[in-house]
Copies of this chain bind each other. A is one copy, B any other.
């Protein structure tokens, strides 16, 4: 198996941290273009999904989308069974919170980044081979949404060590990737969210996140 990522991007980082947490020995290939902030031509020619991460299987088939990749790897390497949830209810709650962290966090920051950065003019959205104009109002909306995500996460973490409960899961990974991307984009955790600050310090200390 081979895991294709783009070292600069937050979304494939979800799969990279998952693999590091599980200690899975897998070839990781950076599909980024060395010269411009874009995926390499050989990659988008080969994978019409045009996004990272992608997991290429030994039979030549491939799986796109970070949560689908992690779920596949979890089936191959079930121990320890923490990251995707330990029973059917926890599995569902991890998926729910992973989706919240993605939609309200990661995508919100991406809306800010992609719709304001000079290097992404005409590329307002990942995964398309056509011109996608930047929408300044969408960047504003993303920034607003991110603020509400920080508040929601702060409330969720009030009585929990991690996003779903007592175990570090994919939901924490996605929230971390979203927030580190936000910090990079100069949208740091507000001081009004002490639970998020405490959680962010704790999860950032994990070797898998380096």
Name A residues whose Cβ lies closer than 8 Å to a Cβ of B: 57, 61, 63-65, 67-69, 71-72, 75-76, 88-89, 91-93, 95-96, 99-100, 124-125, 128, 130, 132-133, 135, 137-138, 141, 144-145, 148
Contacts and interface: CB of A to CB of B under 8 A. Distances in A.
A125 B9 CA distance: 25
B75 A61 contact: no
Copies in the complex: 2
A141 to B, nearest CB: 7
21 contacts: A61-B89, A63-B92, A63-B96, A64-B100, A65-B95, A65-B100, A68-B92, A68-B93, A69-B92, A71-B88, A71-B92, A71-B95, A72-B88, A75-B88, A75-B91, A76-B88, A125-B141, A125-B145, A130-B144, A135-B141, A137-B137
Contacts of A61: 89
Contact of A63 (B69, B93, B128, B130): B93
Nearest to A88: B75
B89 A72 contact: yes
A89 B141 contact: no
Contacts of A71: 88, 91-92, 95
Given A65-B95, A135-B138, 6 more contacts: A65-B96, A75-B88, A124-B141, A128-B145, A135-B137, A138-B138
Contacts of A125: 141, 145
A157 to B, nearest CB: 14
